[in-house]
Amino acid sequence: MHRDIYFENVSFSYGTKAIFKQLDLHLPFGKNIALVGENGAGKSTLVKLLLGVYTPQEGRILIDGRDFSKMSGEERRRIFAAAFQDFYRYPLTLRENLTMYVGAGAAEKELQRVLAAMGMEQYMSRLDFKMGKYGEDSMEFSDGQWQKVVIARALLAKADMLVLDEPTASMDPISESNLYENFMKIMKLNSTLIVTHRMALAKYADVVIALQNGEVTGMGTHEELLRENAYYRKLYNEQSAWYK
Ligand SMILES: Nc1ncnc2c1ncn2[C@@H]1O[C@H](COP(=O)(O)OP(=O)(O)O)[C@@H](O)[C@H]1O
Ligand SMILES: [Mg+2]
């Protein structure tokens, strides 16, 4: 099984607004990939096309040589687990929030592992607390904590590829970057697509894809792009002050 992903001649528009024009793109399986670009570059649209939320008006997206949108729901869930910037805070228990993709029978050991990966091991004893303000045996989470829950939920699903579309946008860049470094290592992730407009995350990737106005302007390692790609260098330099 390869699971390599190919966008072939993909065109997509919102109404009359063209986002991608005959895009060809290869996303290698077995690598940690960062998709970077300014706000509005088309990153989330690319992810939604990949996950079959939207269908290209032209061209196709193949995984393992097959059209993802034609696979069964079960197979699709085995291939991708995703977390997005916009998510819903379910007024359920923490356990229910975490096991939404895998079912309530998830092993305690697995829950422990993902909570530890997200730096939330202290909540292991409160898995059956209800999320929200309900009184005893309930607890409220901050935005940052919720964002970790959403990533933990996707980690727990153990799909072939983890797709994260800026679920940590409200964290400060340094906490975010430390968080990713930790869970990537603890979970031994080697097939991820991390979408971000924050360049620090690109350093952890094997392959970085720079997206500008719906076009792939560069693909390579962080160092290669920094050397060879003016757009990438500009994005990086604009943000480097955050990390000093
Ligand atoms: N549902 C939509 N309808 C119309 N335009 C949209 C919609 N979603 C996104 N866009 C527009 O498409 C462009 C790309 O958006 P998006 O893929 O969200 O970029 P990114 O994730 O890189 O910030 C932006 O100009 C955005 O305003
Ligand atoms: Mg986006």
Tens digit of pLDDT for each residue in 141-181?
A: 999 999 999 999 999 999 999 999 999 988 888 899 999 99
Q: For residue 202, how far is its CA from the centre of ligand 1 (angstroms)?
A: 22
52 CA to centre of own chain: 15
Residue of minimum CA distance from atom 17 in ligand 1: 42
- Which domains does the chain possess? 5-88+161-243 (3.40.50.300)
pLDDT category, 1, cuts 50, 70, 90? low
Ligand 1, pocket-test mutation among 11, 23, 45, most atoms within 8 A of CB:
45
Closest CA to 23 of 3, 46, 54: 46
Backbone angles phi, psi at 177, to 5 degrees: -65, -40
Tens digit of pLDDT for each residue in 104-117?
A: 889 999 999 999 99
Backbone angles phi, psi at 88, to 5 degrees: -100, 140
Residue of minimum CA distance from atom 11 in ligand 1: 40
CB neighbour burial string for 172-204, b if at least 16 within 10 angstroms, e if fewer: ebeebbebbeebbeebebebbbbbbbbbbbbbb
Distance CA 190, CA 207 (A): 11
Q: Is 76 helix (H, G, I), strand (E, B) or coil?
A: helix
Q: For residue 124, how far is its CA from the centre of ligand 2 (angstroms)?
A: 32
Atom index in ligand 1 nearest the CA of residue 15 equals 4
